Structure 1
């Protein structure tokens, strides 16, 4: 069996209990060495074979996975965060399916969750934003037509932008061209939850300047939105005048329907 495991946002103790169990039992681990904290590998058993996929092609990765499974070994493919986001995992799963090799997926905590924790932020605040756009700038790899930063910015929702730290001058221009004011709160979160985490609060128009001052050129998430400025309405969920399935509203309040 091959298991795709989400390594979590960075800190070695933020992998799931299930994910760590798979790591402890693995005979072979193929990990994304450019992004995954190597401390996660400290739990591997003696004799476990470890491969750094940052130095491998897709074909080389698949060869290790398929050969390991064919030999009856327990194989872990360790991806950063949760494999479902920018993990290039679908092409691996499809290739295994074509070869009739069984696999499963163990989800992990995405780095966008780690960034929220570092910022002490809630991405969805009543009266401010009830949506989160997770996206990236078009670079060497394009984005589909209609999914530009500019088009998403027009919604004014919270945005978490991956893989774009090296393009911040262009990013801030696109954000403002799309509709965000230059003074919209923003943040550059470097290696959220890692020991070297660095949270840099700024505005949309100072994103590039802030990152340059801090020497941040990669491995950071960009968070944009009014949820970062502290103004919001309280949730109705715990309002005594707002009834729910589990709690009656106070006299004169609104009952759950």
Structure 2
């Protein structure tokens, strides 16, 4: 009997077409898909073949759905565990893979698109503008799931980098209070709900107005809190340019057109030291 590894697949933020090609192929070949139904839209199951089993694990505990994964794997079936976003971020896969290892069940992980990147795409922004911020922090506030003291929200917010706060919308008052002390009450912020899904909603606001916005719009779940100076339209319009495409900036594949010291044109012939064929 052929033994197939259990596949942990990142479903992306919701849009069925934002799953990776590799993830889509895994679903098309699966005999059984166990999906986190509280977060993963059923539309993702459209990629499965007729006869594939679908199990919603929303009401199940760890031992229940892991035992199903092991049982079906050992019977020769191709098993997919479908997670929202990317499995490596708040995916709780470590506890699942630990159980699989105990039973000598092989597994592979196929990455997905996380909500922070789906939200940035929807807003048409870049989290890392030159000379504004070059860092993106993905975090959550401490709640029912504790956060190490060294990673408390206020400590991380002190960097004033771009920040995406997951799993914290129910504690928006506390989040806003902390962010206001660090970023300032007028710092641009956004709340992205159900990113890439049909009912997607994205609201632009300021840090101090976050609680009022969340309450007014009755936002309770599947929402990401984003705070960053890059959300300022004036900065976006200022067109902060990177050096990557600057004609005076040399790199491995392009010589500068203008010598930065002598201020005269130089050879711009492309080099190709790695031997790749140019199109």
- TM-score, normalised via structure 1 length: 0.96
The match for 1:51 among 55, 58, 73 is 55
Q: Which residue of 1 aligns with 2:112?
A: 108
The match for 1:147 among 147, 151, 163 is 151
Q: Which residue of 1 aligns with 2:9?
A: 5
Q: Distance in 2 between matches of 1:56 and 1:46?
A: 24
Number of residues paired by the alignment? Answer: 254
Q: Distance in 2 between matches of 1:237 and 1:19?
A: 32
Q: Which residue of 2 aligns with 1:203?
A: 206
Q: Which residue of 2 aligns with 1:185?
A: 188
Q: Which residue of 2 aligns with 1:171?
A: 175
Q: Distance in 2 between matches of 1:141 and 1:75?
A: 29
The match for 1:253 among 257, 260, 266 is 260
Q: Which residue of 2 aligns with 1:68?
A: 72
Structure 1 unpaired stretches of 5+? none
Q: Distance in 2 between matches of 1:89 and 1:226?
A: 33
Q: Distance in 1 between matches of 2:260 and 2:213?
A: 47
The match for 1:216 among 207, 215, 219 is 219
RMSD of aligned residue pairs (Cα, Å): 1.3
What does the per-residue CA deviation read over 1:210-254, in whole Å, with 9 as the maximum and x for residues that have no partner?
A: 111222111111110101113163111111111111111122327
Q: Is the 8 Å Cα contact of residues 243 and 253 (structure 1) preserved in structure 2?
A: no
Q: Is the 8 Å Cα contact of residues 3 and 105 (structure 1) preserved in structure 2?
A: yes
Deviation of 1:190 after TM superposition, in Å, equals 0.4
Q: Distance in 2 between matches of 1:185 and 1:2?
A: 42
Structure number with greater Rg is: 2
DSSP 3-state at the match of 2:49:
coil
Q: Which residue of 2 aligns with 1:226?
A: 229
DSSP 3-state at the match of 1:234:
coil
DSSP 3-state at the match of 1:199:
strand
What does the per-residue CA deviation read over 1:79-136, in whole Å, with 9 as the maximum and x for residues that have no partner?
A: 0011000000011111101110011111111111101111111011101110010000
Q: Which residue of 2 aligns with 1:35?
A: 39
* Structure 1 residue ranges, 4+ long, deviating more than 4 angstroms after superposition: none
What does the per-residue CA deviation read over 1:199-218, in whole Å, with 9 as the maximum and x for residues that have no partner?
A: 10001111111111222111
Q: Distance in 1 between matches of 2:205 and 2:87?
A: 29
Q: Is the 8 Å Cα contact of residues 28 and 49 (structure 1) preserved in structure 2?
A: yes
